[in-house]
Amino acid sequence: MVKGIEIREAHFPGRAPIEAYGNGGFRFAGMSHRGSILCLPSGIYGWDATDESPFAGERLLKAFEEAGDFKFFLFGTGRELRRLPKPLAERFKSLGVSCDPMSTGAAVRTFNIMVGEERPVAAALVAVD
């Protein structure tokens, strides 16, 4: 019996610096991913947030589940810096996590430095064109 294409959730099981971003996606660990990503201690996950809606997506709940494994959360909000919605900022604060919004480019650069320093960091990165 011939099987069709199996579509699985996008997930890279590990930490990796972001090698490139733009054109609607990211490159890391020698692979590319189209769309936004969450970089968590358990791996890098595809995420459905967009530049128009940077705080959307149920996958963001995974960040709250793993909040005990990082102290810094970088929020790349697209081409421009956007303020975090107050309930989102308060939720991270209640978990003891410093959450810093910035443009996606700034978040990628900061994330790579912090990963290189082996600091407890995670990131939500909205894809940009």
User: Is 5 part of any domain?
Assistant: no
User: Is 1 part of any domain?
Assistant: no
Tell me the backbone φ, ψ of residue 21, rounded to 5 degrees. Answer: -145, 160
| Higher per-residue pLDDT: 98 or 4 | 98
Regarding pTM above 0.95, the answer is: no
CATH code, domain carrying 109: 3.40.1230.10
Residue whose structure tokens are 């970088």: 74
Average pLDDT over residues 14-23: 94
Strand order, beta sheet including 25-28: 18-22, 25-28, 31-34
Domain count, the chain: 1
Sequence-distant (≥ 6) Cβ neighbours of residue 128 within 8 angstroms: 21, 22, 24, 51, 78, 79, 104, 105
CA 119 to chain centre: 16
Cβ pair 63, 78 in contact under 8 A? no
Confidence of residue 56 (pLDDT cuts 50, 70, 90): confident
- Average pLDDT over the chain reads 90
User: Is 4 part of any domain?
Assistant: no
User: Is 2 part of any domain?
Assistant: no
Cα–Cα distance, 48 to 36 (Å, whole number): 6
Confidence of residue 4 (pLDDT cuts 50, 70, 90): low
Q: What is the pLDDT of residues 66-80, one digit of tens each?
A: 999 999 999 999 999
Containing structural domain, residue 102: 11-125
Confidence of residue 35 (pLDDT cuts 50, 70, 90): very high
Q: What is the DSSP letter of 62?
A: H
Above 90 in pLDDT, residue 54? no
User: Is 57 part of any domain?
Assistant: yes
Question: How far, CA to CA in Å, does 111 sit from each of 7, 52, 80, 118?
Answer: 29, 22, 17, 10
User: Is 72 part of any domain?
Assistant: yes
